[in-house]
Structure 1
Amino acid sequence: MTDSSRRRPRVSIEGVGRQYDSPQGVVQALEGVSFGVEAGEFVCIVGQSGSGKTTLFRIIAGLEDATSGTVYLGGDPVEGPGPNLGLVFQEYHLFPWRTVAGNVGFGLEKQGVDHEEQERRVRELLELVGLDGFADSYPRDLSGGMKQRVALARALAVDPELLLMDEPFGAVDAQTKRMLQNELLDIWSETGKTILFVTHDVEEAVKLADRVVVMATDPGRVREIVEIETERPRSRSDTSFGEYYERIMKLIRA
């Protein structure tokens, strides 16, 4: 990525904290989480269970309120879900009664985009994710990997400022996962989208990310941000890949 593409943060997480009440008292799930994601950057968040990754995802997505701090997207505070955020989850959340094209075009319908433009945009996106022959298929007819491609196309349809992904490849087999990772990198390269990607898989983070945000636990907070300087495509057999993997694993275990 060139320096010219990193002129301002697309996303700013500033001092975000989250507390919960429990029978045992107040639980501090997140404390003082701060980092930025620049326009066009691919950032992964990793950490042990209990490090607050999912809570942070939900706050950035506007699905949950922070107890303290603020998330800014494009300079504006995030106050709830909106079309400037494209969300992709581990579960596909496709509408079983809609075709592939109908699922991808759902957000465009909600925005009142005219039918002809909807069809054009859906065709482009299905070609982008390699499903141009499946517009009239239903989710029941698709494999897990194909369903996730539909979910990705649906998220991209409204041209969001940020693509926010939570363990999106966690429900597919290892071979499909590697294929989807490569396809996501191709889509990212082609679209220039800003991506924030939550994963428990350190290998996945090293393969995909420009930077990896390593979360610590009790409470969830940023331990360190690791910049991955190895050129893409990255291979697990490369010495530098293994070095980054071990470095991040040590930070997680610390």
Structure 2
Amino acid sequence: MAGVNDDGATGDDETADDDGTAGDDGIAGESDATRPPAAASVALDGVGKTYAADGDGDPVRALDDVSFSVADGEFVCLVGPSGCGKTTLFRVVAGLTEATDGRVLLDGTEVTAPTTDMGVVFQEYHLFPWLTVEENVGFGLERSDRPAAECDRRVDEMLDLVGLAEFRDAYPKSLSGGMKQRVAIARALAVDPDLLLMDEPFGAVDAQTREMLQRELLDVWASTGKTVLFVTHDVAEAVTLADRIVVMAAEPGRVREVVDVDVERPRERGDAAFAEYVGRVRELIGAHP
């Protein structure tokens, strides 16, 4: 990664054919949104979340029977309308919020709390301002049982991976927004997690930096082979990044459809196929139940 500075829908709900091939709109998808891919790294099995009533109000069903899987090494994006429970689902997968029903499995083990097998990146950088870039990246490793020399090597590798080796002694206050998020990504990857879970990680940077970070994240993903579950409200971002897009519906949050993005990378936003996928996903988001 090169150094980055900050300067610089509605429609009827159509489904794919039962065999998962493209329908009349020419876009591949899954007729059964719960059909898991082979060798699942993370699997959501009937996940539901109900919040208790506030005062005299009724309980709120935020998520209902959410089921889908992410294959080992796959890049999956999660999109949906406001109020569909994307953030709640993110927190459930991360082990930060307990599901009311159903379960999340990471490599076959149920997730009940945060784990070092999962690297988490938030929209806000959550860097420690009193630590250098190098110290922030190595923070999680300090709590592992790895030898110090191995931890040092791992930090060096991550700094090289995200293009921040020359900034290792800098403090967060001197970094641009894009560089801060790179530090957060490097820190999440440093512990070598099985899953990289990302919640709107580029939402706080300008559009130009956002597109650059998207390209560079794909480079990191390709070089590490990590499994990625990426939450975003930006449909074009999802089409740029994802192997598959899980489209959610709201009230309560649930899976409407899973769309396979069958376009070779790198994807150009001006291409007709790219625009077709963007339109299809936006149509699904805007469709009524």
Which residue number in structure 2 is paired with residue 152 of structure 1? 185
How many residue pairs end up in the alignment?
Answer: 249
Which residue number in structure 1 is paired with residue 194 of structure 2? 161
Which of 8, 12, 15 pairs up with 2:46? 15
Which residue number in structure 2 is paired with residue 183 of structure 1? 216
Which residue number in structure 1 is paired with residue 74 of structure 2? 41
Three-state SS of the structure 2 residue aligned to 1:22 is coil
1:83-102 → structure 2 map (5 Å cutoff): 83-102=116-135
CA RMSD of aligned residues (A): 0.8
Q: Does 1:80 align with 2:113?
A: yes
Amino acid at match of 1:26: P
In structure 2, distance between residues paired with 1:246 and 1:181: 20
In structure 1, distance between residues paired with 2:104 and 2:155: 31
Structure 1 stretches of 4+ with a deviation exceeding 4 A read none
- TM-score of the pair, normalised by structure 2: 0.85
**Structure 1, gaps ≥5 residues long:** 1-5
Amino acid at match of 2:131: R
Which of 230, 249, 258 pairs up with 1:225? 258
| Aligned-pair CA distance for 1:114 | 2.2
Three-state SS of the structure 1 residue aligned to 2:266 is coil
TM-superposition CA deviations, 1:119-157 (whole Å, max 9, x none): 111111001001010111000110000000000000000
Three-state SS of the structure 1 residue aligned to 2:160 is helix
1:165-244 → structure 2 map (5 Å cutoff): 165-244=198-277
**1 or 2 for the larger relative contact order (CA 8 Å, sep ≥6)?**
2
| Aligned-pair CA distance for 1:116 | 1.5
| Aligned-pair CA distance for 1:7 | 4.2
Q: Does 1:58 align with 2:91?
A: yes
Which residue number in structure 2 is paired with residue 30 of structure 1? 63
Moved more, 58-67 or 18-27: 18-27
Which residue number in structure 1 is paired with residue 158 of structure 2? 125
Paired-residue identity, %: 63
Amino acid at match of 2:42: V
| Aligned-pair CA distance for 1:113 | 2.3
In structure 1, distance between residues paired with 2:145 and 2:43: 30
In structure 2, distance between residues paired with 1:83 and 1:179: 28
| Aligned-pair CA distance for 1:49 | 1.1
In structure 2, distance between residues paired with 1:173 and 1:37: 29
In structure 2, distance between residues paired with 1:72 and 1:22: 28
Amino acid at match of 2:120: L
Structure having the higher Rg: 2
Greater fraction helix: 1
In structure 2, distance between residues paired with 1:83 and 1:119: 18
Three-state SS of the structure 2 residue aligned to 1:90 is coil
In structure 2, distance between residues paired with 1:214 and 1:7: 20
Three-state SS of the structure 1 residue aligned to 2:256 is strand
CA pair 71-151 structure 1, distance change in 2 beyond 3 A = same
In structure 1, distance between residues paired with 2:38 and 2:68: 15
Which residue number in structure 1 is paired with residue 141 of structure 2? 108
Which residue number in structure 1 is paired with residue 26 of structure 2? none
| Aligned-pair CA distance for 1:112 | 3.0
Three-state SS of the structure 2 residue aligned to 1:44 is strand
Three-state SS of the structure 2 residue aligned to 1:30 is strand
